[in-house]
Amino acid sequence: MKKQKLSIVGMGKMGEAVAQGLMQSDLGKHFVIAGTTRTEESAQEVRDHLKIECTTDNSDAFKFSDIILLAVKPHQVEKILRANQEFIRKDQLIISICAAISTEQLSTWSGGKAAIIRTMPNTPCLIKSGVTAICAGPHAEKSHMKLAESIFGELGLVTTLEESLFDGVTGLSGCGPAYMYLIIEALSEAGVKVGISRRQATVLAAQTMLGAAKMVLDREEHPAALKDEVTTPAGCTIDGLMALEEGKLRVTLIKAVLAATKRSKLMRA
């Protein structure tokens, strides 16, 4: 079977994560992966690091690729697509990972011919533990969606969602790793306060978060039921939970997601 050419326009953190995840997987054998960057310096770094073709010429990527993965900053997308509109064909698939850019905008800016898919991954994709929301845009068929699902499936979990929910996804799982790091950092500080070394406290906090997350996903139980399992009557956990309720942890986290969702909406306006 002929390999498909997949060009990643924007080989930054996320672009590299996708390239690396694919290259380390069986699926990667079906693609010739290449990338572009803005500066020659970054292109050279990618060539050295990943041993793939990487240039600063986006037009080649649009002319010669079957799949184009857009991984530049959101404000750069319109300019890049409009500049390369003349090269974009009906038989191509454009997958975007860019926050706030709608499938309608992607389709309009790219000339309306190519199939469009929008995704929202997160940084744990770097270690194949990410989660990616995905939705179909203009001309995207089931086969395109299957392909995108298998690409991001190599980097973690994938879930299909309506596009109207994508700002919320950005606020929740796109930005979410930062909230989790903050919680781990705070728990680790607490460990230091009770006399544990910082390194051990960080391991205890991070592995606790990882384990709790795995319990939620593996057992498919409501988090509240799992919380109740840990909470013995008149035990220690209920005192800890009371302190969290006093500090309004729940409503604070909800507000964090709402604030980031609002920002994602504003980025498009």
Ligand X SMILES: NC(=O)c1ccc[n+]([C@@H]2O[C@H](COP(=O)([O-])OP(=O)(O)OC[C@H]3O[C@@H](n4cnc5c(N)ncnc54)[C@H](OP(=O)(O)O)[C@@H]3O)[C@@H](O)[C@H]2O)c1
Binding site for ligand X (CB under 6 A): 9-15, 36-39, 42, 58, 71-74, 76, 80, 97-99, 120-123, 174
Residue facing ligand X at closest CB distance: 12
Is 135 within 8 Å of 120 (Cβ atoms)? no
Q: Nearer to ligand X by C-beta: 85 or 123? A: 123
Q: How far is the CB of 267 from ligand X (least distance, A)?
A: 9
Q: How far is the CB of 31 from ligand X (least distance, A)?
A: 19
Q: How far is the CB of 220 from ligand X (least distance, A)?
A: 26
Q: How far is the CB of 211 from ligand X (least distance, A)?
A: 24
Q: How far is the CB of 181 from ligand X (least distance, A)?
A: 12
- Up-side HSE of residue 147: CA atoms within 13 Å toward CB? 23
Q: Nearer to ligand X by C-beta: 104 or 229? A: 104
Phi/psi for 223 (5° steps) reads -55, -35
Q: Nearer to ligand X by C-beta: 34 or 201? A: 34
- How big is the chain, counted in residues? 269
Which residues does 20 contact at the CB level (< 8 Å), separation at least 6?
50, 126
Q: What DSSP element (H or E) covers 54?
A: strand 53-55
Tokens standing for residue 15:
């672009």
Q: Nearer to ligand X by C-beta: 93 or 131? A: 131
**SS3 state at 131:** strand
Of 113, 115, 56, which Cα lies nearest the Cα of 88? Answer: 113
CA distance 209 to 163: 29
Q: Nearer to ligand X by C-beta: 8 or 201? A: 8
